[in-house]
Structure formats: structure tokens, C-alpha cells
Amino acid sequence: MTEKKARLFNLTELEGKVSPHQGQVKGGLKLRAAALEFVDDPAELAAYFGGTVEKIGSGEDWAVAKELFPGVVIHFVFCRADSEFPSRLQALYSGDRVNLVHGDELATMTISLSNQLLRYVREKNTDRKLPEVCYRV
């Protein structure tokens, strides 16, 4: 596990407040968040899609990252549900070339890679009833 020191951005910070892509990503990840409660081993999840486990330091239960393009990294940050809040999945971006990638491309890659997270959950939990979203990917 590595401690993350690089500056992390969301799509609003990269594109500005008028962009629709942050809302698209936020909505897509909200649908997928509850399924990630079934992840028992974040290191195994990260290995499944060629990523690494990271410690972001924002109170997350786990975070995994993957380099999408040279100099562009996506970080999935997950917080488990508790008595006050539901599960939360967030995507953040870093890298020295992250400003060169268009928001629509980052949004598409984020949703595609989040589907890989669901495939992992589905493959590792064949004996459990999972959220419906796991069966759509």
C-alpha cells in the first residue's frame, strides 16, 4: 500500500463548474457503491484490474488506483455504509498529464473501470445475493 502525496482532482476541478461530466460520474458511481460492500480484500480487487491499493488519507475504508494513460491515474475511493451515511464511491484523478485528457474521456473510462469493480464483486461472491447492478455488467 502506498501513501498518496500527489494532488488529486475531481472532474469539476479539471473542467470547471459548467461541465456535465462530474454529475455523470457521480451518478454512475452512486449506483455501484453498495455493491462494493462485498469487497473483502482491496489488494485482490486492485490486482484484478491491474491497479494498486493506496492510502488517500480522507477517512476512506480503501482506495485503489490505476494508471489510465501515461501520466493519468484514476483513484477509486470507497467508504463503507454506517448508521448515518450510505456507501460512497468517489473517483479522483492525478498525474502530470491529467489536464490533457478531456472530461468526457475521463468520465467514460471511469464508468468502464467501475464496471470492472462490479465484475470482481460478482466473480468473488457467486454464493451471495448481490445488488442488481452487479448482474448488468
Instruction: Give pLDDT tens digits for 43-93.
Output: 999 999 999 999 998 899 999 999 998 999 999 999 999 999 999 999 999
pLDDT (tens digit per residue) in 102-132: 888 999 999 999 999 999 999 999 999 999 9
DSSP run (H or E) holding 88: strand 88-94
DSSP states of 34-67: GGGGG-S-HHHHHHHTT-EEEE-SSS-SEEEEEE
Task: Tell me if the pTM is above 0.85.
Answer: yes
Q: What pairing do the DSSP bridges indicate for beta strands 52-55 and 2-3?
A: parallel
Cβ burial, residue 50 (10 Å; 0-12/13-18/19+):
exposed
| Spatial CA neighbour of 1 closest among 36, 52, 44 | 52
Domain boundaries defined on the chain: 2-135
- Three-class secondary structure of residue 93 per DSSP: strand
